[in-house]
Structures are given as structure tokens and as C-alpha cells.
């Protein structure tokens, strides 16, 4: 791939992550926080996991969701939080 093409792809992923992060923040309960996004293992093919902590309805102190990319994991977490 060409250098400009790679740069555009990286920018699109950053924009996607920013939007997904904002989606999580929009549905986080009061006093809860987004703990982070990380691979579930050291394997490059492992899914990504996004985690929120704190007082979450239904007596849960931590909630996590996975996806094939960091943005997908964040969107999945936002969906789980919105269900609560």
C-alpha cells in the first residue's frame, strides 16, 4: 500500500475509535469509568476487550465486551451499557 493510503486508514481508525469512545462515555452510569481497551492475549489475532468499572446498574462493578478491533470492542461495550 502507498504511504498516503496507509495514513488515511490510520486516520479513519482513529476517528472510529474517538467516536466509539464517545459512545461509551455517553452511556456510562454516574461514577463509572472506562477502564481501557486491550488485547485479550498476546496473540495478534486475539480479540480486543473494552472494560468499564464502577457502580453499574444490576449490581455489577465491572463490565466488558470484545470485538475484532478496539473501536468494535468499544461499540460493543456501549451497547451492553445501554441495555442496563
Q: What is the structure's pLDDT at 65?
A: 96
Q: Are 34 and 22 in contact (CB under 8 A)?
A: no
pTM of the complete model: 0.79
Q: Which residues of 18-54 are buried (b: 16+ CB within 10 A; e: fewer)?
A: eebbebbeebbeeebebbebeeeeeeeeebbbbbbbb
The topology under which CATH files domain 3-83 is Double Stranded RNA Binding Domain (3.30.160)
Q: Are 24 and 34 in contact (CB under 8 A)?
A: yes
Alpha helices (H) in 2-69, listed in sequence order: 3-27
Q: How confident is the model at residue 12 (pLDDT cuts 50, 70, 90)?
A: low
Q: What is the mean pLDDT of residues 2-18?
A: 71
Q: What is the structure's pLDDT at 1?
A: 47
Q: Which residues pair with 17 in a beta bridge?
A: none
For 25-80, the pLDDT digits (tens) are: 999 988 999 999 999 999 888 999 999 998 877 677 899 999 999 999 999 999 99
Residue 19 pLDDT greater than 80, yes or no: yes
Amino acid at each position: 500500500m502507498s504511504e498516503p493510503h496507509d495514513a488515511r486508514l490510520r486516520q479513519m481508525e482513529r476517528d472510529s475509535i474517538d467516536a466509539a469512545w464517545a459512545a461509551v462515555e455517553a452511556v456510562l452510569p454516574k461514577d463509572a469509568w472506562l477502564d481501557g481497551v486491550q488485547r485479550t492475549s498476546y496473540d495478534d489475532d486475539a480479540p480486543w476487550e473494552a472494560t468499564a468499572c464502577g457502580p453499574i446498574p444490576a449490581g455489577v462493578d465491572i463490565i466488558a465486551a470484545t470485538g475484532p478491533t478496539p473501536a468494535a470492542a468499544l461499540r460493543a461495550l456501549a451497547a451492553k451499557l445501554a441495555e442496563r
